[in-house]
Structures are given as structure tokens and as C-alpha cells.
Amino acid sequence: MLSDLDSISGNKILLNLEPNRIRIADWLLNHSREVDEILNHRGALLIRGLGVRSNTQFARVLMSLFASELLPYNHRSTPRTALKDNIYTATEYRADQEIVQHNEQAYTNVWPMRIGFYCQKEAEVGGETPIADSRQVYENMPASIRDEFEKRSLMYIRNFSDIDLPWQEVYQTSSKDEVAHYCKQNGIVHEWVDENHLRTKQVLPASRVHPVAKVPVWFNQAHLFHASAIGESLSLALKESRGLENLPRNVCYGDGEAIPDDVIMEIRRVYDAYKVSFRWERGDVLLLDNMLFSHGREAFEGERSVLTGMARSSQEYAWT
């Protein structure tokens, strides 16, 4: 039974297995349903000692535990390298950069409900993948911010040109007709500013109710997309050289009004207050319900290799 889990910062999410004492296939067969229940309600599980040794093996583990084929990384927002079987490297930002808490693809109307991480090599210093309970973030968000976001929704604005990711990589196609079709199917307003400059706008909710746990969660990427997220000096330089409307990404209220910087700072403070961290060990597998828990990355020194895979499209669920 998996009910006797160890705690990390008060959260019972760590499952320690004895290395070399289990066959992975047998363990998956015996515990997949139980793991699914843990993720549906607790939201996170760190498995240590399972004995995963390759990205191919990691893919099989995820497909078994998630009872689903793995999803391709479409409508992208960060650079990654695709491996076999829809396994990807974690976001390839510089080692000295922190990646703040976020729920994967919460900036879209379709997202993965499950996400898994596998540590091939832990960093010498730092490199943790902290997580935060989206229910706690929602409950502890100042009511004035939460109410305003829920009332007005959010508009995500992206510009694909010569900075940030090119539209061909984001939409995994070189066909403008295919981009237009995708945007129409997903409620995205798009325009071609020039021959190779695509601008998109999409209005989405700031919070949602989890379809299984039936609880509200904070589920957006306002604090990542906001112009202030790239730092004051770079933000100012880009605004002066490109104009606010041409920033690679930005977010405002759904009616187009700007979100004040201090609101974004308060959102980040709440995330920081509720994030939980652990030291990676080689072979660790971290499983998350992508709505119930966000994730991030600390800056690091030395080599680090963490892989990721996603499953179960939100489109497969009934929403009320």
C-alpha cells in the first residue's frame, strides 16, 4: 500500500522504494490505480528507488501510471528538445535563471492533466524543482486580486517575430493556414503584423474547478506572461525599442486594461509562501496532477538533466 508516505515540508508526497528489490513492470501493474487516486486528490507523488535508468523506460513508466499515451508539446512557450516517445528535456533556460511556479500550459484552453519529471542527473548545487499546491495558492490569494481576476478574466498576448520562439516552433508547422485553423478552433484572435510577425490574443479564466477533486484552483500564468516578468531594465528596453504592443508576451485583464506591477508581485509572493522543495536524487520520478500542483526550477551550478512527459488532455474531462 502507498498510504504510508513520507513528508516533504509537511506534505506526504515521498514514496521510498528499496532499489534493486522490485521489478518495475510488476510494481506498475500492482500500483497504477493507487497512484492515480493519489494524484487525483493529493496531487503530487515523488517516487524514489523505482530504478528508472533511461528516457525510454521513463516514457513506459508514465504511460503506465497515467494510463494514457504521452502528449506532444504543442502551442509551446519555452525552448525544449524532443526525445523519443514524446519525452522532452525540461525548459532549457540558462542555469543562472530561476523558473517561477506555473501550471503547465495554463496560458491555453487545452492543457495536460498529468505531468511527470525524471532526474537523469542532479545538479551539483541548486536545480530543485519546487512545487506548490494550487488549492492553497487560490485560498490564500488576496481576495481583491482573486475576485478581480475571476470577474475580468485574462488576455494573453504573444508576438512571434525575431525574438522569443518563432511561430513555426510554437505551432509545430510552417503553414500559415494551419496556424489560422488552430487559432479559430481554440478561440485565439490572430493577425499577421508583417510577413513573419504573428500576434495572438486569447482570453481565458484565471481559476478553474478541478474536474475530479471538485475544488477551485489558481490556474493561470499571469505572473509569467506579464511584462514585468522579464525584469525592469529589459522590460523598459524592449518597450522603448519595440513598443508595449510588440513585447514577445504580455498579459492584461480580459477587457484589455493593464494589470498593475504590484498585483503581479503579490501573486509571486503567494506562490513563494506555499512552494515546497526537495533535493533531486538520480533516478527520482516526480508525478503531478498539473491542475492541483504547479512547478518551477531553481537556478543551479554544474550539469543537470531532468526530463519531462505529459498526458491526459483536459479535453478528455467533463467540465461543469
8 Å CB contact between 274 and 100 = no
Whole-number Å distance between alpha carbons of 115 and 312:
9
Kindly tell me the burial class for residue 206, based on how many C-beta atoms sit within 10 Å of its own C-beta (0-12, 13-18, 19 or more): buried
Whole-number Å distance between alpha carbons of 159 and 37:
40
CA distance readout (Å), 125 to 14, 46, 99, 156:
21, 20, 16, 34
What pLDDT score does 164 carry?
A: 75
Sign of CA dihedral 132, 133, 135, 136: negative
What pLDDT score does 75 carry?
A: 80
Whole-number Å distance between alpha carbons of 54 and 76:
25
What pLDDT score does 79 carry?
A: 78
**Where do we find the cell 498593475?**
260
3-state secondary structure 229-275: HHCHHHHHHHHHHHCHHHCCEEEEECCCCECCHHHHHHHHHHHHHHE
Whole-number Å distance between alpha carbons of 176 and 171:
10
| This prediction's pTM | 0.93
8 Å CB contact between 155 and 202 = yes
What pLDDT score does 320 carry?
A: 67
Note the helical H segments in the chain: 24-41, 55-65, 134-140, 143-152, 167-171, 176-185, 222-225, 232-242, 261-274
First-to-last CA distance in the chain?
A: 33
Q: How many CB atoms lie within 10 A of CB 320?
A: 5
Q: For the chain, list the domains and their CATH numbers.
A: 6-128+277-314 (3.60.130.10), 136-269 (3.60.130.10)
* Tens-binned pLDDT, residue by residue, of the chain (320 aa): 576 789 888 889 999 997 667 789 889 989 999 999 999 999 999 999 999 999 999 999 999 999 999 999 888 777 788 898 999 999 888 999 999 999 999 999 999 999 999 999 999 999 999 999 999 999 999 999 999 999 999 999 999 887 778 899 889 999 999 999 999 999 999 999 988 899 999 999 999 999 999 999 999 999 999 988 876 556 565 666 566 788 889 999 999 999 999 999 999 999 999 999 999 999 999 999 999 999 999 999 999 999 999 999 999 998 76
Angle between helices 55-65 and 24-41 (to 10 degrees): 50
- Angle made by CA atoms 16, 120, 223, in degrees to the nearest 5: 90
What pLDDT score does 162 carry?
A: 75
Phi and psi at 296, nearest 5°, equal: -155, -160
